[in-house]
Structure 1
Amino acid sequence: MDSITQAALGASIAGLVAGRTLGRPVLLTGALLATLPDLDVLIDYGTAVANFSQHRGFSHSLFALAPLSVLLAVLLWRWKPEPGFPRWLLLTALALMTHPLLDTFTTYGTQLFWPIGQPLAISSIFIIDPLYTLPLLAGCIAFLIRPPAVRAVAAGLVLSTAYLGWSFVAQQIITERVQPVLVEAGFEKAELLVQPMPFNTVLWRATAIKNDQRVEIVTGFLDGGAPLTLEYFPRQPELARSVAQLPETRRLEWFTKGFLDYKAHNGEITATDVRLGIPGAHPFTFILADDRDGAIMPGNGERAPRPIMNTGALPLLWARTTGAIPVLCLANLATPAPGQEC
């Protein structure tokens, strides 16, 4: 999740655990602790692919954060003996470890058990969702105005947690909605990713991939009984095979679980993570190799320029979320002409 959300969650936890004893400063303590895991963005792992795939790695591992919680609790306890070591340990452990647990609900992927296993991604909440964050902020503001505001802080945590639970339930509902249509379209054995569209859990995007084709479905809870629209995108398996043995390719395949789109343009072979963003606005594309007259020359994993955000599409996205328009084509973020399909 975004840094503001993580800080608000850590501050809320700290306020609830030790707010009566430490007062307003405890919010800052909790916020700082909760943002510590994301300091790994300051580390340069050598290539853009490495930086992309190793973010949320060791710093988000429960195996690393558990002993760090004990160490920080000891230091804080020696600095301020009140409210006692057990409460300091509870504060540090919760503030640190709820960070990667919350990140796991997003799509990016969190290496919760680094150094073993694949990144985990439940994908039920967008990386920025105001309805999750606002209750936490409201509780923190109430604490600042009139500490310790235990009921307000607790209410914020309960509401945000309930919303997180709702996001998972909503994801299952949407998954059940799209699966029969995907089976009918021949995608019954395809890898499937169901995730919310930006900033909400009302409108959802389902992405199914198989060897030579990808299909996207946008559907929401305000669509009524409108039929689902399938939007097809070709894949290039031969291009993927041409760079399959490159270390950067293998790393991306592992990190994204195969949700990649390979392209060749002006002699460059690129791979795009199609999980993040939406078609036409995927933020993570990497240059894997150069194709020189059929000879594949490994690249350095450089990240391609990020596409410019089409702010003019935001009203259409809102209209699609509310059900005011029944179809939004992802390829061009536009509504289809009358009588046409995406």
Structure 2
Amino acid sequence: MDSITQALLGAALQGSLLGRIQGRRALVYGAVLATVPDLDVFVHYADPVSQMTYHRGFSHSLFVLTALGLALSTLVTALARWRWPDHGYRWPRLMLTFWLVLVTHPLLDAFTVYGTQLLWPLQVTPQSWAGVFIIDPLYSVPLLLTVVYAGVRGVGEGARRWLAAALVFSTLYLGCGIAGRLVSEQRFAAALDAQGIAHSHVRAVPMAFNTLLWRVMAKTPDGHYYEGVSSLLDTAPPEMQRQALHLDAAQPLAGVPLHERLRWFTGDWLRYDIIGDALVVSDLRMGMPSDYNFRFLMARRDAQGQWQPVQPSRWPGNSARAMFDRQMLGLLWQRIFDQRPPLPLAAWQVQSLGKDAALQR
């Protein structure tokens, strides 16, 4: 999730658990501590694939953060016995508070689609539960309102109850997001089955700023995938289109370490496109239909026509800007409540391919 939401979650947790002792300072301490796992953004990597796949790694490990919570609570307990013996600090409550503030950060991140390495250093596929969009006002605003209320009125018993209520609501909301994802995946699979289309690996991800509208994908045995849009309010099958993964184009990257790491990180949700003399690899999980956030140039064709792997670089795209495009957001909002007219998926695909064609010139 976004850093502001992570800070709000930490403030609400520490305020509800230690507000009686620390007062308003608990909100500040919790907000600061909750942002610690994201300090890995200051680690510089040589290429964008490494930057993407090592982010949310060691600093988001439940093992590392548990050890940090243990060390921090032990240190604060010792300091409190010396400086504030009458404040009521106790190690079990400190440990519980610091541990929750720290580990809820990567757990919340795991509810997005990006991928979070909760079990680092174990080399398991990063957790990507895709229950909420990376920015979701319905999740964040209740936390914001209660933290502001506690900051203005003080962290008394009433404020602590409101903070706890916001935490319960936010947790239930995450559960609703997972349920919405499962419903969307089942509907999409049923629509493919009704057309006699063989498929596997159905994957739904929430679209911008809500958990009612979902982008859903399904791979087929012949190396293609279907991509469509489904609202939880739909009464008819979702609109969808068939696209190629172009798996044969991936041959020049066979055995290349960064390519293998990208496959591992994304669960192999990758598409390959030859654009002029460039081989572009796209992470299908994030972005708008047919226009994805993470695209990488990973090989080039040399003068002899042979493909040569290169150090990856970002391939330009407009998906991130499209998320804040007023016209597109308007269409998405309308699509939540009404399937007619359907979203112009084919036109968006042509627009994306046209943009890439222009870059070749």
> Aligned-pair distance for 1:261?
1.3
CA shift at 1:104, angstroms?
A: 1.1
Q: How do residues 315-330 of structure 1 correspond to structure 2 at under 5 angstroms?
A: 315-323=330-338, 325-330=340-345
The count of corresponding residues between Structure 1 and Structure 2 is 333
Write the deviation string for residues 271-304 of structure 1: whole angstroms up to 9, x where unpaired.
0111001134422111111112431211101122
Shift of 1:89: 1.2
Tell me how far apart the structure 1 counterparts of residues 154 and 192 of structure 2 sit (CA, whole Å): 53
Q: Give the partner amino acid of 1:323.
A: D
Q: Is the 8 A contact 1:226 1:326 kept in 2?
A: no
Residues 1:222 and 2:233 are matched in the alignment: yes
| Structure-2 separation of matches of 1:206 and 1:265 | 25
Q: Is the 8 A contact 1:213 1:232 kept in 2?
A: yes
| Pick aligned residue for 1:101 from 96, 104, 107 | 107
Note closer, same or farther for the CA distance 1:43–1:185 as it changes in structure 2 (3 Å cut): farther
Q: Runs of 5+ in structure 2 lacking a partner? A: 350-361
Kindly indicate whether the alpha-carbon contact (under 8 Å) linking 2:12 and 2:167 is maintained by their aligned counterparts in 1. Answer: yes
Aligned to 1:296: 307
Pairing 1:109-258 to 2, within 5 Å after superposition: 109-116=115-122, 117-148=124-155, 149-185=159-195, 187-210=197-220, 211-223=222-234, 225-258=235-268
SS of the residue corresponding to residue 269 of structure 1 reads strand
Check the 8 A contact 1:59/1:65 in 2, yes or no. Answer: yes
Give the deviation of 1:329 after TM superposition: 2.8
Cα-to-partner distance string for 1:295-320 (whole Å, 9 max, x where unaligned): 12111011223426231312111111
CA distance, structure 1, for counterparts of residue 316 and residue 90 of structure 2: 50
Identity %, equivalent residues:
40
Q: CA deviation at 1:244?
A: 2.3
- Quick one: distance in 1 between partners of 2:346 and 2:132? 22
Which residue type is aligned with residue 46 of structure 1? A
Give the match for residue 305 of structure 1: 316
- Once the two structures are TM-superposed, the CA of residue 84 in structure 1 deviates from its matched residue by 2.5
Distance 1:324 1:232 in 2: 19
C-alpha distance in structure 2 between counterparts of 1:112 and 1:24, whole Å: 31
> 8 Å contact 1:261–1:273 — kept in the other structure?
yes
| Residues 1:2 and 1:170: Cα distance change in structure 2 (over 3 Å) | same
Q: TM-score, normalised by structure 2?
A: 0.87
Shift of 1:333: 4.2
Which one has a larger percent helix, Structure 1 or Structure 2? Answer: 2
User: Secondary structure, in 3 states, of the residue corresponding to 1:328?
Assistant: coil
- Residue deviations 1:122-177 (CA, integer Å, cap 9, x gap): 11111111111111112111211222211110111011111111111222222221
Find the counterpart in structure 1 of residue 23 from structure 2: 23
TM-score relative to the length of structure 1 = 0.92
Deviates more, 1:65-74 or 1:185-194: 185-194
Code of the aligned partner of 1:321: I
Alignment gaps of 5+ in structure 1 = 335-342
In structure 2, relative to structure 1, the CA distance for the partners of 1:332 and 1:43 (3 Å cut) is: farther
Please give the alpha-carbon distance, in whole angstroms, between the structure 2 residues aligned to 1:70 and 1:107.
29
Q: Counterpart of 2:292 in 1: which secondary structure?
A: coil
Give the superposed CA RMSD.
1.8
- Confirm whether residue 75 of structure 1 aligns to residue 78 of structure 2: no
Distance 1:9 1:259 in 2: 30
Equivalent in the alignment of 1:45: 45
Letter in 1 for 2:342: V
- Alignment correspondent of 2:98: 92
User: Is 1:110–1:119's contact at 8 Å kept on the other side of the alignment?
Assistant: yes
